[in-house]
Structure 1
Amino acid sequence: MSSRPPSPFRIAIDLVILTIRQDRLHVLLIERGKEPFEGRPALPGGFVRAGEDLRDTAVRELAEETGIDGGKLHLEQVRTYGHPDRDPRGRIASVAYLAIAPDLPIPVAGTDAATAHWEPVDNDRLGRGWLAFDHDVLLRDAIERARDKLEYSPLATAFCQDLFTISDLRAVYEAVWGVRLDPRNFHRKVTGVKDFVKATEERRFPPTGRPAILYERGTASLLHPAMLRPTRSHDRPTPLN
């Protein structure tokens, strides 16, 4: 049995907040306003308070650091990061949360954040150490979680408004996966998945062309058959520019 005394231990919540802006996947980043890593980009987050549930901390930090109401977002825990040297302030474990919502507003910085902004996701930088702490790893893992879940769950609808077209949904898959998808093939697949989406009586009338049926999220919690990524199916992916 080790004779070492237990080390002081704190728990933080870090938030990977994703939305789609101008047909691209974006993540919300802050610029740290104090040490450690003052001036570096980072994920928003903060420490869990005494008597506070982890999810409650996530919702509070969303409001304090960005002005976003976490009660309106898809919010799920990704994993816990506890490497002893991940934070220069001491032994601090971080619980990463993935948050998703459509058309999120321009964020408002607060607490230890100097600024807050939406950053387009750059696959070439994921996991490369460009964010403060180990936040680039947290970001990479959360995005991969989202990409995986688009295959077997209705998570894509969390990026959409309450009513959406199949084209809107396809734009989500394209933005998150980073590939172009064949519109007809995608429409066939989506409408072929039981209870994935439900057609409504509403229509969207574009300036030109035919009115588009508006759909809402169905009751399915798992997609069967799954919406496989092109790289995992027989489709040839076309990378986005």
Structure 2
Amino acid sequence: MSRVRQTVTLTADLVILTIRNGTLCVLVVERGNEPFAGHLALPGGFLRGDESLDETAARELAEETGMRAEGLHLRQVGVYSAPDRDPRSPRVVTCAYLAIAPDLPLPAAGSDARSAHWLPVVEVQRMGLAFDHDRILSDALELARAELQFRTIATAFCGEEFTIAELRKVYEVIWGVKLDKSNFHRKVTDADGFIVPTGGKRPTGNGRPAALYRAGEATTLSPPMMMPRSSDV
């Protein structure tokens, strides 16, 4: 085993998810510089000055979306350190983050990007991404799907007030299943501190206004909301 010490460059990459027009979308940039000029990639950047990696991720989030990390669901997906993952340096190690928010604005391209777009996740997976970003996106999606079972992150895809139908749509879009309305209603209202009724109502177009809710104080789901094994749930 080699004992030669290597200089390591650190970066933070972001998988920023939102739901637009009922579709799960991810923010991607078209790279303006080599390597992979003209290819799609996840937004991200190099660690600067005295930043921590968390601070780098928060800065990149603000630069790419105009949103601040405070109040968003932002957490680490994993660390990626394959020797050949980035041709710019022998060892570029990245820490990937998952960010979730509703109704994110149209992005503005960063300094090294030609353009930035919200694209459906399925379309991005079909086209492929630069570097090892396909793997990072896949890992982030698995994390989001798993967290929906045990944590209250589904409300992060909703606005400040939402209906149970809107919350159910979050689960259906991310899990790719159709959920039984009455069963879902019972589960989310029985979960301790998951959602709280606001007392308000919203017209639905079918003559019966829907009750409005907000996110509760809980961060974990008790009982958990387990992902169904088939679409006939």
TM-score tier, shorter chain, comes to over 0.9
Aligned to 1:120: 120
Aligned residues of 1:66 and 1:116 also touching (Cα < 8 A): no
Distance in 2, Cα, partners of 1:72 & 1:200: 20
Aligned residues of 1:66 and 1:110 also touching (Cα < 8 A): no
Using the TM superposition, give the Cα deviation of residue 122 of structure 1 relative to its aligned residue in structure 2, in angstroms.
Answer: 1.1
Aligned pairs for 1:38-49 within 5 A: 38-49=37-48
The 4+ residue runs of structure 1 with deviation greater than 6 A are none
Query: Runs of 5+ in structure 1 lacking a partner?
Result: none
Aligned residues of 1:13 and 1:54 also touching (Cα < 8 A): yes
How many percent identity over aligned positions?
Answer: 54
Taking only aligned residues, the RMSD between alpha carbons, in angstroms, comes to 1.8
Aligned to 2:27: 28
Aligned residues of 1:65 and 1:111 also touching (Cα < 8 A): no
Aligned to 2:222: 224
Q: Which moved more, 1:96-105 or 1:180-189?
A: 180-189
Distance in 2, Cα, partners of 1:223 & 1:70: 23
Distance in 1, Cα, partners of 2:213 & 2:118: 28
Distance in 2, Cα, partners of 1:227 & 1:94: 32
Distance in 1, Cα, partners of 2:107 & 2:57: 16
Q: TM-score, normalised by structure 2?
A: 0.94
Distance in 2, Cα, partners of 1:220 & 1:80: 28
Aligned to 2:17: 18
Task: Name the count of aligned residue pairs.
Answer: 232
Query: Runs of 5+ in structure 2 lacking a partner?
Result: none
Q: Which moved more, 1:188-197 or 1:157-166?
A: 188-197
Using the TM superposition, give the Cα deviation of residue 49 of structure 1 relative to its aligned residue in structure 2, in angstroms.
Answer: 0.8
Aligned residues of 1:129 and 1:136 also touching (Cα < 8 A): no
Aligned residues of 2:65 and 2:104 also touching (Cα < 8 A): no
Q: Does 1:138 align with 2:132?
A: no
Aligned to 1:101: 101
> Could you tell me which amino acid in structure 1 is paired with residue 106 of structure 2?
I
Q: TM-score, normalised by structure 1?
A: 0.91
Aligned to 2:195: 197
Distance in 2, Cα, partners of 1:204 & 1:7: 59
Aligned residues of 1:68 and 1:107 also touching (Cα < 8 A): no
